[in-house]
Amino acid sequence: MGTSAPAVRLPEVRSWPAGPGEIEPGAKRAAVAAVTALLKPRGVRGVVEVIDAQYGGILSDTASVLVPCRVYTISGGRLVTSGTTVDVRLTKTRGTWRVTATHPAQPGKATTRLSAAARQVLSNEQILLPPASEADIRSGQVHDAVLTAMLELAKTYRIGVSVIRSGHPLNVFGTNRPSDHPRGRAFDTWQINGHPVVAPTTPRALVTSYMRATESTGSHNVGGPYQLPGAAYFSDPTHQDHIHAGFRP
């Protein structure tokens, strides 16, 4: 008698935790709940995995929370993995954060003419990419300055990327200044060597060394939780949970 193939199972995913280092964790919890409901598979077995929740911007009563996700479904007896990043907009009224809009990423179609740097980033196991960021690279719309910086950093660090191009606000939050992200000239890192940037237990020296290494790759605009000396560096509430690296046109 033949043996039947083992049943395909959905992976176990943990709920996104709001750790002790989070600024306004209520905003992130509301954003994660909205994205989980938005992306929840319907009509098939599936589950949503929230990779991270980081600020695209936060002010006193408005915020943008970027939520990169993977979505697992079972279709035709196979496990299918997809996902996106959602820019969730919120307002704060009487101390409570409320979701006002959700903007899923639009990476664009994949190109057949990827640069050598793009191919290397996609195959590098030291660079952990969420689905939307991987699609950004496959679209050919990420500048090689960003890709070569990632490759250089990956020689020393294991990088958890949160957002590159799509799924990020078009303008620097709360301003009319265009962000480098939608132009494919920036990337954000939420995790370094397995340590979330926002976690109080993450060594400060690890974060600051990564920030300095990022500047040495050519980034003129390095944001993070610590203000370092030098014109390239900045820190603000938005960047307590990730390292931003922007590159000149």
pLDDT attached to residue 4:
55
Q: How far apart are CA 142 and CA 182, in angstroms?
A: 9
Global confidence as pTM:
0.95
pLDDT tens string, the chain, 249 residues long: the values are 455 556 889 999 999 999 899 999 999 999 999 999 999 999 899 999 999 999 999 999 999 999 999 999 998 889 999 999 999 999 999 999 999 999 999 999 999 999 999 999 999 999 999 999 999 999 999 999 999 999 999 999 999 999 999 999 999 999 999 999 999 999 999 999 999 999 999 999 999 999 999 999 999 999 999 999 999 999 999 999 999 999 997
How far, in Å, are 5, 11, 79 from residue 46 at the CA level? 20, 9, 9
Measured over the CA atoms of residue 124, residue 152, residue 155 and residue 53, the dihedral's sign is negative
Q: How far apart are CA 18 and CA 26, in angstroms?
A: 9
pLDDT attached to residue 6:
66
pLDDT attached to residue 3:
56
pLDDT attached to residue 2:
52
DSSP 209-223: HHHHHHHHTT-SEEE
Q: How far apart are CA 244 and CA 232, in angstroms?
A: 11
- Please report the domains of the chain, with CATH numbers, ordered by start residue: 25-104 (3.10.450.50), 116-246 (3.30.1380)
pLDDT attached to residue 246:
98
Query: % helix / strand / coil in the chain, to the nearest 5?
Result: 25, 30, 45
Q: How many CA atoms lie within 13 A of 247 on its CB side?
A: 22
pLDDT attached to residue 231:
97
CB 137 within 8 A of CB 147: yes
Q: How far apart are CA 34 and CA 31, in angstroms?
A: 5
